[in-house]
Structure 1
């Protein structure tokens, strides 16, 4: 199995004079849950539609399972499952019947996969209940079941929690985690709510007005948002030594510009200030910093409010 499930190379999509996507370079590794975050209209759905073959790029290319041959992409796209926008359900059919129709459309042999899929998404007890009488959460799970019917290696979900109540969001999140953990399923999931994806994704791509602003791991995101004391002294190396020897902490980083990020003593700034000053250092700046996930996202996109 290839290390990379998806890579895009300067992917652009232009409608008349406007770019929906502009020179997007996304990298998703096998086994990741990749959170694609951006405001409504940022280009998330356009990107997902290109990856799933529902539309084509104006320029640039995509690589799926290390295959970038346009003629062969159709075949490798069969190894994916997707929900783009709303799940396509037959409202007068049961969950079983909906899956049966999609099984026949996809040419999947045998019906064993239907009961397995119903069990996987928690819909085994729906019986003769029609899809039109399902709750929104049940409809989303049935849509997910359709996407999972062919046992894909790569799952793509476009804003899957839209309209769900808090319990429905939790249930869907735990199901995706389970699929990733137990089946090794790689997932690309888009949302405009960073706090929601933060509880699920292992890596992130942040898009704004069609441009990819940043890719980072969940660990890197946590570090950027972690509360800390920002310290600027005239002798950073000496300052770091003092923190380690006299305050008995190694929970700090010295940044390239000489700023020290101290993750301890957040509630005891006076002690930090006193120890540094008593050792002959000049404190040029000392403040408590750290973003919430929402404020970090807002700063990154230029402070524009969410749609």
Structure 2
């Protein structure tokens, strides 16, 4: 999977958040958008996948040399981000099974197997609204890592995770990102120490 940005720009009212972005992202590699809070990292991520419209330029997606339309790209993407809401009324097991209807899991993993991988089996019947922020983040990350999709997008991935959760995150990165395109938004170096492709959003102001 390849994503290409050509002279991409995003403007809110009269302010350019970023402009003249020319980048290419390829499967099998990881990329990290860095910059201070409010610099536009999350905005670039959302424009990149079509959640937010761009103001100028072009975003193109190709898979095995064949162009993928914007209407179909969502099938190729999984995302974990603090601003994405979970259905609070669902139990953990219901939340996993609901997600699975839209994005199947890798290697025919079952919902109960995923519970074990998330280390959350004892909480399978607990409502998401009663989860801690760290447990919710682990669920979001787990759904992203274990879904069958060639593109993984992670925004502030260790947000609300303790030291044990952060170690679990790095283990999942090692296990589940080979032969996939990984893009991270972060201003925490420990979240992307493995990544050699760093994009500083301030270079496109």
How high is the TM-score relative to the length of structure 1? Answer: 0.58
- Say whether residues 1:15 and 2:12 are aligned partners: yes
CA distance in structure 1 between the partners assigned to 2:87 and 2:56 by the alignment = 36
- What's the counterpart of residue 247 of structure 1? none
Q: 1:81 to 1:161 in 2, by over 3 A?
A: same
How many angstroms does 1:78 deviate by?
Answer: 1.0
How many angstroms does 1:198 deviate by?
Answer: 4.2
- Say whether residues 1:75 and 2:68 are aligned partners: no
- What's the counterpart of residue 61 of structure 1? 58
- What's the counterpart of residue 203 of structure 1? 197
- What's the counterpart of residue 101 of structure 1? 98
CA distance in structure 2 between the partners assigned to 1:179 and 1:122 by the alignment = 16
- Over the aligned positions, Cα root-mean-square deviation in angstroms equals 2.8
How many angstroms does 1:169 deviate by?
Answer: 1.9
CA distance in structure 2 between the partners assigned to 1:154 and 1:99 by the alignment = 19
CA distance in structure 1 between the partners assigned to 2:103 and 2:162 by the alignment = 35
- Say whether residues 1:92 and 2:86 are aligned partners: no
- Give CA-to-partner distance per residue, 1:157-192, whole Å, 9 cap, x none: 1112223223322221221222124xx332101111
Is there any run of 5+ residues in structure 1 with no aligned partner, and where? 213-307
How many angstroms does 1:112 deviate by?
Answer: 5.9
Residues 33 and 201, structure 2, Cα contact 8 Å, conserved in 1: yes
- What's the counterpart of residue 223 of structure 1? none
CA distance in structure 2 between the partners assigned to 1:72 and 1:196 by the alignment = 34
Q: 1:122 to 1:61 in 2, by over 3 A?
A: farther
Three-state SS of the structure 2 residue aligned to 1:128 is coil
How many angstroms does 1:126 deviate by?
Answer: 2.6
Three-state SS of the structure 2 residue aligned to 1:199 is coil
Q: 1:211 to 1:146 in 2, by over 3 A?
A: same
- What's the counterpart of residue 189 of structure 1? 184
Three-state SS of the structure 2 residue aligned to 1:129 is coil
CA distance in structure 2 between the partners assigned to 1:139 and 1:56 by the alignment = 28
Count of paired positions: 202
Residues 34 and 187, structure 1, Cα contact 8 Å, conserved in 2: yes
How many angstroms does 1:148 deviate by?
Answer: 4.6
- What's the counterpart of residue 278 of structure 1? none
Greater C-alpha radius of gyration: 1
Residues 8 and 26, structure 1, Cα contact 8 Å, conserved in 2: yes
The equivalent position to 1:170 in structure 2, one of 167, 172, 192, is: 167
How many angstroms does 1:39 deviate by?
Answer: 0.8
- Give CA-to-partner distance per residue, 1:228-252, whole Å, 9 cap, x none: xxxxxxxxxxxxxxxxxxxxxxxxx
Q: 1:119 to 1:79 in 2, by over 3 A?
A: farther
Three-state SS of the structure 2 residue aligned to 1:64 is strand
CA distance in structure 1 between the partners assigned to 2:31 and 2:127 by the alignment = 33
Three-state SS of the structure 1 residue aligned to 2:177 is helix
Residues 145 and 172, structure 2, Cα contact 8 Å, conserved in 1: no
Q: 1:74 to 1:170 in 2, by over 3 A?
A: same
CA distance in structure 2 between the partners assigned to 1:55 and 1:87 by the alignment = 14
